[in-house]
Amino acid sequence: MSQAPITPLTLRGGAGTLAAWEARPPAGVEVRGTVVLVPGFTGSKEDFEAMLPLLAHDGYRAVAYDQRGQWQSDGPDDISGYTMDDFTGDLIRVLDQVSPNEPVHLVGHSFGGYVSRVVVIAAPHRVRSFTLLASGPSSIEDINFPPPQLVAQFVEAGGQEAIWQQMSTAMFDSGNAPAPERLEFLHNRILATKKANILGILKVMEVPPVADPAVLRDAGVPILVAYGDTNDLWAPGVHENFAAQLHAETAVYHGVGHLPNEDVPAQVCADLVKFWEETA
């Protein structure tokens, strides 16, 4: 069967337009629901490029978007426009536009999981299931990442290029560097992402998105915690403990780091579909 095409989609956010992609089930495939995928810090819709057609092939309309100020989405130039309320408000607007009458399967990668979990608590009736994809409990402790305030000082001084140099050195050693064209895209993307977005997210990350996991658990939405067990920002034990606190299912990707959505997209999609079928 031919691969479902990815098409551009323009959505309305609270600070202008949000650039998005969608893939729809091909003709003859029963539509089983809508999936919204939320990217993380310095990410974009392209982080889910390999997943969107696979999910559509399995019967799900799949939508991913750039958060405000990321890559091709509009966003303010001042850090004050990047609070958690701003990010969650945009996500609610996205849900209103792509699936106003039916709850969605929500997938948040890393910081996208932070934003998504706040929406799950605020509006659980809008969400059929929630997946935390390489998204641990907080950026304050039990994380292999410098303190957000320290990173913010680094960005203030050196801008997007400085954080690119830091992140690329940390993530892409000689054994796992992406192809040159992919590396060029990642570099261009972070340069195009607004400095205020980067600083705003770092400010948001200074406080755990949900202080008590029981609040998220008690929202009553089925939860999947999916993560790689090698060089993720959070150690496997941190994810495992978080999943236990949430009474969540787990999916573990052996030998994979912080980007299972890119490294093993077919396996991630298979786990998602299995989870959705079991919790339907």
Residue 170 has pLDDT above 70, yes or no: no
> Is residue 17 in a domain?
yes
Q: In what order do the strands lie in the sheet with 223-228?
A: 7-13, 16-23, 60-65, 33-38, 104-109, 127-133, 223-228, 249-253
pLDDT confidence of residue 169: 67
**Residue 71: strand pairing partners:** none
The count of domains in the chain is 1
pLDDT band at 173 (very low <50, low <70, confident <90, very high): low
pLDDT confidence of residue 63: 98
pLDDT confidence of residue 101: 95
Dihedral sign of CA atoms 263, 164, 202, 64 in order: negative
For 13-52, give one letter per residue: b (16+ CB within 10 A) or e: bbbeebbbbbbbbeeeeeebbbbbbbbbbbbbbbbbbbbb
- Of 182, 187, 194, 140, nearest to 168 by C-alpha is 187
Who wins on pLDDT, 131 or 3? 131
pLDDT band at 175 (very low <50, low <70, confident <90, very high): low
Structural tokens at position 88: 């969650």
At 82, give phi and psi (nearest 5°).
Answer: -130, 50
pLDDT confidence of residue 215: 97
pLDDT band at 163 (very low <50, low <70, confident <90, very high): confident
Structural tokens at position 169: 């050195």
* Enclosing domain of residue 150: 7-278
Site of tokens 């969605």: 104
> Is residue 1 in a domain?
no
Average pLDDT over residues 121-142: 96
pLDDT confidence of residue 174: 47
Residue 83 has pLDDT above 50, yes or no: yes
Average pLDDT over residues 167-196: 81
Which spans in the chain are helix H? 51-57, 84-98, 111-122, 148-171, 180-192, 195-204, 213-217, 236-246, 260-263, 265-278
pLDDT confidence of residue 166: 76
pLDDT, tens digit, for every residue of 102-117? 999 999 999 999 999 9
pLDDT band at 21 (very low <50, low <70, confident <90, very high): very high
Distance CA 258, CA 103 (A): 27
Structural tokens at position 187: 């570099």
Average pLDDT over residues 144-151: 90
pLDDT confidence of residue 44: 98
User: Residue 26's domain is classified under what CATH number?
Assistant: 3.40.50.1820
> Is residue 2 in a domain?
no
Average pLDDT over residues 164-178: 67
> Is residue 12 in a domain?
yes
> Is residue 266 in a domain?
yes
> Is residue 224 in a domain?
yes
Distance CA 19, CA 72 (A): 6
> Is residue 166 in a domain?
yes
pLDDT confidence of residue 172: 62
pLDDT, tens digit, for every residue of 202-227? 999 999 988 799 999 999 999 999 99
pLDDT, tens digit, for every residue of 40-76? 999 999 999 999 999 999 999 999 999 999 999 999 9
Structural tokens at position 121: 């608590």
For 235-264, give one letter per residue: b (16+ CB within 10 A) or e: beebbbbbbeebebbbbbbeebbbbbbbbb
pLDDT confidence of residue 165: 82
Distance CA 227, CA 253 (A): 6
**Residue 108: strand pairing partners:** 38, 132
> Is residue 61 in a domain?
yes
